[in-house]
Structure 1
Amino acid sequence: MEEKKLDVKTLLGFGLIGALLIWMIYNQTANTEAQLQEEEKKEQIDKSSQQQLTETNAAIVEKDTTVSDSVTLSQYKSSLGAFAYSATLPSAKDNITEITNELLSLSIANKGGYIKTATLNNFEQFHKNSNEIVSLIKDNNANLNLQIQTKDNRILNTRDLYFEPVVSKEGENQVLTMRLKAGPQQYLEYRYVLKPNHYMMDFSIRTQGLADIVNTSKPMDLEWQLKAYRNEKSVTYENRYTDLVYEYEDGKDDDLGQGSNEAETAEEVTYVAYKQHFFTSILLTDTPFKTVDMKSENLVKDEEVDTLFTKSFSTKIPLEFKGGELSYNMNWYYGPSDYKILNSYDKNLDEVMPLGWGIFGWINRYVFIPLFGLLSGFIPYGIAIIIFTILIRLVMSPVTYKSYLSQAKMKVIRPEITELNEKYKKDPMKKQQETMKLYNKAGVSPMAGCLPALMQIPVFYALFQFFPSYFELRQKSFLWADDLSSYDSVIHLDFYIPFYGNHVSLFPILASLAIFFYMKMTTGDQSMAQPPQEGMPDMGKIMKVMIYISPVMMLIFFNNYASGLSLYYFISNLITIGIMFVIKNYIVKEDKVHAMIQEHKAKPKKQGKFQQKMQAMMEQAQEQQKTKQGKK
């Protein structure tokens, strides 16, 4: 109801202004020729200002022009107080001012002074045939508002008030100054500075001469809201990587997570980012915000239903007065979630990218991103993924060799281990002691096969984070996949399968087949290498079941994932199968492994300090066990 009342008042104000202008025109026609000459200079200025407004599609004012009618001004003062002055200016219309560069097109509204549209000139939405450009802000999906508390106990919102726009140039930079005026030299100012070929622009908020009008004893709340538009092929996949990320306390970073409704309060915040998988809106500040309240709401209630928005973000920031005035230097970033671009600003914005924590992020930042960037610089992206995969598998091949060699050794000595298990079946301590002696004598370690596998985990996890985050794969095609950053649908289903989706992707099927044959090749050797232990589950049987479960899990899980990742796993498993075939048939033959073990047995053994301590502990435990049995 309040919004409707405000609209009526606004229309009434426009009607009164229109009536006043008609009266002024009529009065001017009745003036003498001498009076017209006196007004000629002012009229020319007004005409010049009006022409400039038409050319820029905005209200650009060179000189303050006030309404002298006391009734009209009094009516504005009853609702706006001192800021009634702003409503009397020619800029008090629902116009916009546009500033653009090669990368970004922005429209800033007179009413509210906030960015009304933000369009990325060089990117299209997921429907390529529609030619619709990616817009992070449009159709009132975002808002920026300052809540003003005046000394006469009014609470005003800048989104409802009119700013006076002035466009100027500073070298090659475009400067838009938006002023909400309480008088000729009393105003709240937003200042936008757009540089050539930059997604980042300068933004400042300051006040001048408002100490007698605004209550400066309390902070002025800055509110920023945005509903994230869907821009990608898969709403499920895009929503998974859409999040609110922020930096606080001198370089720490965190996010709100993927819950339905998330909220967080942080201190000493230096930036807040509304990340939308491949595009990001970021507010940065040179002066850390003391406290920031942030909220995120998931708008995708049913993934089976197509949706326009993914998440709704809101941030509330109290801006502190200093010396009775506001002065904050900030930046806006509207652009791609591209590691290279974000990292180039040297403001820790690369943390917005979900590249993984610790060693996983390190591998992505310093190995995978530079390597793939080098390859994709001169060959198509699909071929680059294949070569990238080959290089990684070749680097990891020594680890694969060590793992298989360990399995082969365990397989050779398995009959001796089985004999020890049978011989010392009633004495577990002695059985363990003799088994360790056998391992030491044969030069075999049961952990040797696990360590290489553990070494590969950081690489696999880093790749799992790399492909969904690498912006350059967006809308790049390869074979039947039209977008390597999204799923490669070859069949569309008229129904939705839980956890799987309403389409069939081919690369996950190929990757699942490859992992099935790889596990089929290696599982037999693994089960032969590890004899079943008494009281423990038979790992051989478990591994045989996993041969069928793992490919099915991959098929389901990767059906909605980036086809580039599925392509990597498909090629990776094919290469691994080839490497294992060569190792198994030409390098690590069973007779060679047997000879290697016999040669190692013949060498004199010297136990290390750790082995000596373990041996002593086991012997002591064995003696204690015999003593207890003797007492019984």
Structure 2
Amino acid sequence: MEEKKLDFKSIAGFVLIGIILLWMIYNQTPTQEELNKEKAKKEQIEKAKQKQIPEQKTASVMQDSTLSDSVRIEKLKGSLGAFAYSASLPSAKNGITELKNPLVTLRISNKGGYIAEANMNNFEQFKKGSNERVELIKNNNANFNLQFKTKDNRILNTKDMYFEPAKTKEGENEVLTMRLKAGPNEFLEYRYVLKHNDYMMDFSIRTQGLSQIVDTSQPMDLEWQLKAYRNEKSVSYENRYTELVYEYEEGKDDYLGQGKNEAEKADNVTYIAYKQHFFTSILLTDTPFKTADLTSENLVKDEKQDTIFTKNFTAKVPLEFKGGELSYNMNWYYGPADYKILNEYDRNLDEVMPLGWGIFGWINRYIFIPVFTLLSSFIPYGIAIILFTILVRLVMSPITYKSYLSQAKMKVLRPEIQEINEKYKKDPMKKQQETMKLYSKAGVSPMAGCLPALMQIPVFYALFQFFPSFFDLRQKSFLWATDLSSYDSVLHLPFYIPFYGNHVSLFPILASVAIFFYMKMTTGDQSMAQPPQEGMPDMSKIMKIMIYISPVMMLIFFNNYASGLSLYYFISNLITIGIMYVIKNHIVKEDKVHAIIQENKSKPKTQSRFQRKMQEMMEQAQEQQKTRQNKK
């Protein structure tokens, strides 16, 4: 092998690279002027930090549980200004006050005056046998804070300060007043009213006598944060339906996306909902928030790993003073994300549910939810899904009949269409004209087979939204499925398959087998009905490929979806196969279809205005084509 030598060009290249590197190093070295600017900037930051030391000490003192009460109180008095009065009260300790009704249990902390625990009394977590109730708030996963500025330029946060509780009863309602005091008659107040047998709680924020203490020229900044706990069996499925929803500008509603980090700014916001698939936390206000900065952070980094949280939500809104005082009437809702419950409040809360937009949501709200609720009120949920599926397919059967009838007519006309294609294969315009004439004489429309399929799309999409959103299916069992709102695992795999998961669900397998036989049954008729067009792909080959692709896609896609949805598609495909069999063998027979077409051909045809216009346009195009050919 010949030894490689370093030639002149290589040496020149290395020298050039060295010059470039030296030039880059020289330019990246800061000048003395830049060093002085950087030093001045650091000194400015240090001075700013020194000014913030009192506030930082306040927070650290408030959170230091190792200090005795007397030491902590004395330190707080020097940092809270007028609000040091609250640190001298007996309530200046980590106490908890409980509000409870048959549906929900809330525990409000003296520190911060906010809810430290929110438990659902009648709903368990996904772990069977654990007997653990669904807890929306626990272990500091939520925070509610008001930040404000005092007249002596202190920045204070209510989450670090102690409120004085006072619990009373008003009939069956439990009332808790939490006051952050700056004096005997000067305070910031939170008032909670928990009604009997209701998930919705009244909540108000007001101030009294603080205009001489608090800088009322600036709004108080409210921040509400919630780290959503996982409560269902499939974390990926639950996370897909966990989102922040809000209402703004007098009835409009929107939601933040499912991305890693989503943020939005809205005006005149009337409610903010942190929806956790089957449960939700909602803050409503009678006085719209002028603006709201909303964020959603996805905490599920790897769906293969078990996780505690799904998303982290935050909302920042300004509370404006009027006449030197603050007064906001609000509500808290901690409870199920159940359409029937939310809709009863008549505050547009049903929009929290992802039932679909436009006609899709209309079908769910006014047809599917009432019908399924009626069925499930007297029969088990699994049987209700089967009966519900039968009703839907029977209602859609006329559309199925029209679709198959159109295919049968096109199949009978196929030989004549092929003859036209062969006769006018060199004249595409004439071929099109003759084909349209044949359709017109036979009383056949090539669009007749497409329209019924298009009409089924709203129903298909509405059902796809209905089953994941229907709360009543949660933890309801049927056959081997222990929870119709989650996957029906019959085998756990010791490894993870991308897009599929680490388990095998049986209902998606049955649904995939059913759709395979349905497509096998119908694809042959469709390919026979549509003759291949010159220059166009052969649809029969594409459809044959789809026979195998569609079941595999369903098998993969639905493995982690609600077993109730897979059960619906399994039964739906079985029923459709039966309907198609009856139509094909006992209702629509080719000899009868052929006789109808021949009878239509013998009848005189009157063209509509649209048909005449189309024919004139085609004839003009044909004349223009002949003129161009003659010029050549």
How far apart in 1 are the matches of 2:462 and 2:218?
A: 47
User: Which residue pairs with 2:573 in the alignment?
Assistant: 573
Q: How big is the shift at 1:340? A: 0.3
RMSD: 1.2
- The Cα offsets for residues 394-431 of structure 1, whole Å up to 9 and x where unpaired, read as 00000000000000000000000000000001111100
User: Which residue pairs with 2:266 in the alignment?
Assistant: 266
User: Which residue pairs with 2:330 in the alignment?
Assistant: 330
Q: How big is the shift at 1:177? A: 0.1
- The Cα offsets for residues 504-541 of structure 1, whole Å up to 9 and x where unpaired, read as 00000000000000000000000000011010000010
Provide the secondary structure at the position in 1 that maps to 2:354.
coil
Aligned residues: 577
How far apart in 1 are the matches of 2:457 and 2:255?
A: 24
Answer whether contact 2:58 2:80 (CA < 8 A) is retained.
no
- The Cα offsets for residues 143-185 of structure 1, whole Å up to 9 and x where unpaired, read as 1011121000101111111100000112221110000000010
How far apart in 2 are the matches of 1:133 and 1:3?
A: 36
User: Which residue pairs with 2:414 in the alignment?
Assistant: 414
User: Which residue pairs with 2:116 in the alignment?
Assistant: 116
1:438 alignment partner AA: L
2:69 alignment partner AA: F
* Uncovered stretches (5+) of structure 2, i.e. residues with no partner: 1-55
**1:203-214 pair list within 5 angstroms:** 203-214=203-214
- The Cα offsets for residues 186-207 of structure 1, whole Å up to 9 and x where unpaired, read as 0000000000000000000000
Q: How big is the shift at 1:11? A: 4.5
**1:515-594 pair list within 5 angstroms:** 515-594=515-594
How far apart in 2 are the matches of 1:406 and 1:464?
A: 27
User: Which residue pairs with 1:62 in the alignment?
Assistant: none
User: Which residue pairs with 2:4 in the alignment?
Assistant: none
Provide the secondary structure at the position in 2 that maps to 1:206.
strand
User: Which residue pairs with 1:424 in the alignment?
Assistant: 424
1:456 alignment partner AA: Q
Q: How big is the shift at 1:16? A: 4.1
User: Which residue pairs with 1:40 in the alignment?
Assistant: none
- The Cα offsets for residues 562-581 of structure 1, whole Å up to 9 and x where unpaired, read as 00000000000000000000
How far apart in 1 are the matches of 2:71 and 2:441?
A: 102
Q: How big is the shift at 1:76? A: 3.1
User: Which residue pairs with 1:6 in the alignment?
Assistant: 61
Q: How big is the shift at 1:623? A: 1.3
Answer whether contact 2:343 2:350 (CA < 8 A) is retained.
yes
* Uncovered stretches (5+) of structure 1, i.e. residues with no partner: 18-71
How far apart in 1 are the matches of 2:77 and 2:516?
A: 77
Provide the secondary structure at the position in 2 that maps to 1:331.
strand
**1:207-356 pair list within 5 angstroms:** 207-356=207-356
How far apart in 2 are the matches of 1:2 and 1:76?
A: 9
How far apart in 2 are the matches of 1:437 and 1:155?
A: 82
User: Which residue pairs with 1:87 in the alignment?
Assistant: 87
User: Which residue pairs with 1:463 in the alignment?
Assistant: 463
1:422 alignment partner AA: E
How far apart in 2 are the matches of 1:9 and 1:579?
A: 72
Q: CA 1:529/1:2 → structure 2, altered by over 3 Å: closer, same or farther? A: farther
Q: CA 1:110/1:549 → structure 2, altered by over 3 Å: closer, same or farther? A: same
User: Which residue pairs with 2:625 in the alignment?
Assistant: 625
Q: How big is the shift at 1:13? A: 5.2
User: Which residue pairs with 1:612 in the alignment?
Assistant: 612
How far apart in 1 are the matches of 2:185 and 2:68?
A: 24
Q: How big is the shift at 1:472? A: 0.1
Answer whether contact 2:339 2:350 (CA < 8 A) is retained.
yes
How far apart in 2 are the matches of 1:255 and 1:156?
A: 31
User: Which residue pairs with 2:151 in the alignment?
Assistant: 151
How far apart in 1 are the matches of 2:555 and 2:455?
A: 25
How far apart in 2 are the matches of 1:606 and 1:387?
A: 46
- The Cα offsets for residues 44-95 of structure 1, whole Å up to 9 and x where unpaired, read as xxxxxxxxxxxxxxxxxxxxxxxxxxxx66x433111000000111111101
Provide the secondary structure at the position in 2 that maps to 1:355.
coil
Provide the secondary structure at the position in 1 that maps to 2:482.
coil
Q: How big is the shift at 1:328? A: 0.2
How far apart in 2 are the matches of 1:301 and 1:12?
A: 39
- The Cα offsets for residues 4-59 of structure 1, whole Å up to 9 and x where unpaired, read as 84268665451448xxxxxxxxxxxxxxxxxxxxxxxxxxxxxxxxxxxxxxxxxx
How far apart in 1 are the matches of 2:621 and 2:266?
A: 55
User: Which residue pairs with 2:498 in the alignment?
Assistant: 498
2:553 alignment partner AA: M
How far apart in 2 are the matches of 1:84 and 1:626?
A: 97
Provide the secondary structure at the position in 1 that maps to 2:79.
helix
Q: CA 1:285/1:543 → structure 2, altered by over 3 Å: closer, same or farther? A: same
Provide the secondary structure at the position in 1 that maps to 2:301.
coil
2:141 alignment partner AA: N
User: Which residue pairs with 1:43 in the alignment?
Assistant: none
User: Which residue pairs with 2:367 in the alignment?
Assistant: 367
Q: Identity over the aligned pairs, expressed in percent?
A: 81
How far apart in 2 are the matches of 1:309 and 1:169?
A: 36
Q: How big is the shift at 1:253? A: 0.5
Provide the secondary structure at the position in 2 that maps to 1:523.
helix
Does 1:136 pair with 2:136?
A: yes
How far apart in 2 are the matches of 1:482 and 1:343?
A: 28
How far apart in 2 are the matches of 1:5 and 1:92?
A: 15
Provide the secondary structure at the position in 1 that maps to 2:447.
coil
Q: How big is the shift at 1:624? A: 1.5
User: Which residue pairs with 2:50 in the alignment?
Assistant: none
How far apart in 2 are the matches of 1:4 and 1:289?
A: 28
Q: How big is the shift at 1:226? A: 0.5
How far apart in 1 are the matches of 2:625 and 2:135?
A: 76
How far apart in 2 are the matches of 1:139 and 1:558?
A: 34
Provide the secondary structure at the position in 2 that maps to 1:330.
strand
Provide the secondary structure at the position in 1 that maps to 2:306.
coil
2:374 alignment partner AA: L
2:288 alignment partner AA: P
How far apart in 2 are the matches of 1:387 and 1:465?
A: 19
Q: CA 1:599/1:374 → structure 2, altered by over 3 Å: closer, same or farther? A: same
TM-score by length of 1: 0.90
User: Which residue pairs with 2:441 in the alignment?
Assistant: 441
2:471 alignment partner AA: F
User: Which residue pairs with 2:8 in the alignment?
Assistant: none
- The Cα offsets for residues 106-160 of structure 1, whole Å up to 9 and x where unpaired, read as 0000011000000010000001200000010001100101112100010111111
User: Which residue pairs with 2:404 in the alignment?
Assistant: 404
Provide the secondary structure at the position in 2 that maps to 1:560.
coil
How far apart in 2 are the matches of 1:470 and 1:9?
A: 46
How far apart in 1 are the matches of 2:79 and 2:407?
A: 82
Provide the secondary structure at the position in 2 that maps to 1:79.
coil
Answer whether contact 2:77 2:87 (CA < 8 A) is retained.
no
1:344 alignment partner AA: E
- The Cα offsets for residues 530-568 of structure 1, whole Å up to 9 and x where unpaired, read as 011010000010000000000000000000000000000
1:527 alignment partner AA: S
Q: How big is the shift at 1:584? A: 0.3
How far apart in 2 are the matches of 1:611 and 1:12?
A: 90
- The Cα offsets for residues 469-501 of structure 1, whole Å up to 9 and x where unpaired, read as 000000000000000000000000010000000
How far apart in 1 are the matches of 2:442 and 2:277?
A: 53
